Structure formats: structure tokens, C-alpha cells
Amino acid sequence: MGDEKDVPVQGSVKKTATTKPKAPQKLTKKSSSNPNPSKTALVVRRLISKYGEVEDTKIDIRSPYLRGIFRYLFNDVVGLELNKTPPVADPKLLYWARKGLIRKKEEELNKLQPDEENVVDLETTLQCVEEDWENEINSMNSLLAHNEIMIAPRYGVIGQDQAFFHMRSYYRQREDKTKYVDVEIDHFEGSRPISTLSCYPISQRVDEAGIRERLIQRGRKYMALREKPACRDYHVMYGGREVKLPDGESIEEMFNPFGRVIADPAGYYFHNSASILNQPRIIATRSSEQKELSSDELLICPSWINGFSLASKTWCRLAVEPLADIQWNESAFDKVVLEEKCRTLIHRLVKAHRRDEGAFDDLVQDKGKGLIALLTGTPGVGKTLTAEAVAEVTQRPLYVTLLLGSLEVNSLNFNAEAWGLI
């Protein structure tokens, strides 16, 4: 890094980074834009305790050109005291400035007449960063080069483990001025265990092998549920649904879809094409175009799938893992209190209709495929129980409505046949 020396100065070690490395090739010497040129770009001060240990590190930014760059890169950031003389920076900020410094260097070199002093100041600073943060830089380069798979525990409203490929990340700022990374890792001072972050490399999980296997199995389940609508039991009380705010904005909120549900992302999109929950977008493809997914691709499949809650009659978002095959009650009809002749007739009709769905229709297409039964009687005689028993023995989802006004006939026509509704 040019001429460097460690000099004890009042309980500290001062490391001076001068601007005397070899000048880069193909530079045209011109008058510097730096109004107060200095041979020293940075001064790194190690503050030593009485026990001889490094207590703190501060960096004095001596180069006026570098001061302008750091003001631009870290406007109003705590730890960059540019109003001091000389300006002082936390060493971590130099690490985070590395990409910006590289970009500024490339911009300077691409000028028709690059300023040699500015380029050398940038090279000196980058060399200082690369020496002090070599391990971190190598780790980050390795992560980016291999598209490291990240894990976000308790992701989203439903709060499930979600894996994804890390492509890029950068800082954002909320309306209250607090800063976060785009996967919403809140800014924090000092250090903390990586497992406490909202997102981190899956390789840092203690149970990496176990979590990988579980998420791969979940990915297979998700892909199977995408093929066609599926009625499932959902024995947990967490899900999500879209709600409209008074200002017209939409958000996702917690929702309890406990009971039987229909997993149907295509149906959800058909009825809610503008919904914020239509991510990732589900696009139908011909079976001949589908390919076998790799383990890593299965690993990053969504932890949720959109569908419909039969109990709440609400379109919603469901966690994939809790969705379970229904254990149909084949003996449900035995508990219906009816005359034996009537019970046998109903049972045989619905069983035969279910078995012969692909058989003869009628002279008019689709006319003969429906089976309509009118059950009459006073409240409590067993009309609803009979319908529930029919749903169990035919293994069909039951859509129950008590008020004619609440029966969304038009909205469910699209789904009734695909779902096999009763």
C-alpha cells in the first residue's frame, strides 16, 4: 500500500496509508481536480487499551476527493463524521463502500483524461479495505459466485421456512428513515448470531441436512398440488388473506382457514387476478413442456399455495406442509336416520353417479351429468347431515350455504366441476 508505518501515538497505533503505489498504466497526467492535494489518503488509528489490546479503530479521511465520495455514498449515516477535522469514519463503512469505490474508479479511468491523483487515492483505499476485510470479501464473492441458497425462518404472514437463491441485495429506507436490506434485515449495531437474522445462508443452519430434505419434500408436494385442484384437510389455524385498506391499498393479514380447503392457485388467480397474493405467478403449461426439477429448485419452491376455505367460504393463502389427505368417513351414511329404503336409494344414486361420470351423458351435451336432489322437511330432521354423508361416501368437498343470497353461484361455476363440489 505504498509507504506504511506503525507509530505509537498517545495510547494508539497510527497506520498511515500514503498515495505512493505505482501509478496505473495508461493514465494521462493532468491538473488534479482536488483543490487541496495531499500525499496521505487515509490514516488508520488503532486505539490500544492499557492491556495492549485493540479497543477501537478509527479512520481519518485526509483526501478531499475521498471525502466527497464518502459524503455521496453515506449521506447522513451514523459513524461517518465528515464535519470533523479531519473527517472520521468507522472502518466497517469502508467495507460497505467497496463496490462504490470500485465503480468510481472505473468511472475515473473511463474519462478521456483520468485524474491520476484521484485514481491513486481510490486504489489506496481499496487496498486498505482488501487487506483488512479479506476474509469477508472472499466469503461474499463465494456466496455470489455459487448462488448461495438462503433460508428465511418465519417468512411472511404465515411464518414458514422459505428458501431462495441469493441474487443481489441492497439497502432500502422506510418512511421513518430506518434502514434495512431488501429482504428486510433490520439495521443493527455490533454483532449478533447469524441464526437470529430474518435471512441467512442455509449452510449456517445447524440442521442443514434435515432442513434441506424437509424443504425438498415440501417442494414435491407443492408441485403435485399445482397440477389440479385438490381438496385437503387443513388442521392448523394460520393462513393469509388479502384485505383492502380504506386508502385503497391491499395488504396480507393472518387468517384462520381451519377445516377442509381447496388448493387451487389457478382458480385463485381466475377470481382474484389483481391480488397481491398472486406471487409467484402460476402459469399453466402443457404436461409435455414440464421438466423434472432439480433438488435445489424443489428446495426453493414456495412454502404456500393459494386456495379456498370451504368453512369460511373465503379465497386465501395456505401453508403447504400442513395440507393433508382427507380421511373420508365411509360409514357416515350408516349414521343417517332414514327409512332403510330411502337411505339405500340415495346411497346407490350418489355412488353410481360418482362411478359413471365419464359414461353416457345425454343427447344434449352436459345435460345429464348433474345429479340434483331436493331434501325437504322441518329443521332438525337430517337434511344437512344427509348432504354431509353423501359428501363423505362420494369423497367430494361439500359447499354449504344457509342463505340463498350468500350462494355465489356465478363465482363458483368456474370451480364447481373442477372441484367436484356438492
pLDDT in tens, 322-345: 999 999 988 888 888 888 888 888
User: CB under 8 Å to 399, separation ≥6 — which residues?
Assistant: 310, 313, 412, 421, 422
Q: Is the pLDDT of residue 54 over 90?
A: no
Cell numbers at residue 235, please? 388442521
**pLDDT top residue among 191 and 194:** 194
Rounded Cα–Cα distance for residues 108 and 112 (Å)? 9
- Mean of pLDDT values over 247-266: 94
Q: Is the pLDDT of residue 276 over 50?
A: yes
Percent of the chain with pLDDT over 90: 27
HSE of 102, CA atoms in CB hemisphere, 13 A: 7
Report whether the peptide linkage leading into residue 280 is cis, meaning its omega lies within 30 degrees of zero: yes
CA-nearest of 104, 36, 29, 114 to 70 is: 104
What are the distances in angstroms from CA 10 to CA 45, 49, 133? 11, 11, 26
End-to-end CA distance of the chain: 78
What is d(CA 153, CA 385) in angstroms, rounded to the nearest whole number? 42
Please report, rounded to a whole number, the percentage of residues in the chain having pLDDT higher than 70: 72
Cα 197 from Cα 293, distance rounded (Å): 29
pLDDT at 5: 38
- 315, three cell numbers: 379465497
Are 190 and 200 in contact by the 8 Å Cβ rule? The answer is no
Category of 7 on φ-ψ map: left (φ > 0), alpha (ψ -120 to 50) or beta:
beta
Sign of the C-alpha dihedral, residues 271, 272, 274, 278?
negative
For residues 86 and 111, the model is more confident at: 111
Mean pLDDT of 171-182: 61
Q: If you ran DSSP here, which 8-state letter would residue 112 be given?
A: S
d(CA 413, CA 422): 12
How many angstroms separate the CA atoms of 41 and 18, rounded?
6
pLDDT at 37 over 50: no
> Each residue of 102-154: pLDDT tens digit?
999 999 999 999 999 999 999 988 988 888 888 878 776 765 555 678 888 98
Could you tell me if 260 and 233 are in contact, meaning their C-beta atoms sit under 8 angstroms apart?
Answer: yes
pLDDT score, position 305: 95
| Per-residue pLDDT reduced to its tens digit, 387-401 | 888 888 888 898 876
Q: How far apart are CA 158 and CA 135, in angstroms?
A: 36
The confidence score (pLDDT) of residue 361 equals: 54
Main-chain dihedrals φ then ψ at residue 417, nearest 5 degrees: -75, -45
Q: Say whether 309 sits in a helix, a strand or coil.
A: strand
Give the pLDDT confidence score for residue 27 in this predicted structure: 44
Q: Which residue has the cell 379456498?
A: 308
pLDDT of residue 217: 97
d(CA 390, CA 213): 39
Rg (Cα) of the chain, in Å, rounded?
33
Q: What is the pLDDT of residue 221?
A: 96
- Cis ω for the linkage preceding 114 (within 30 of 0): no
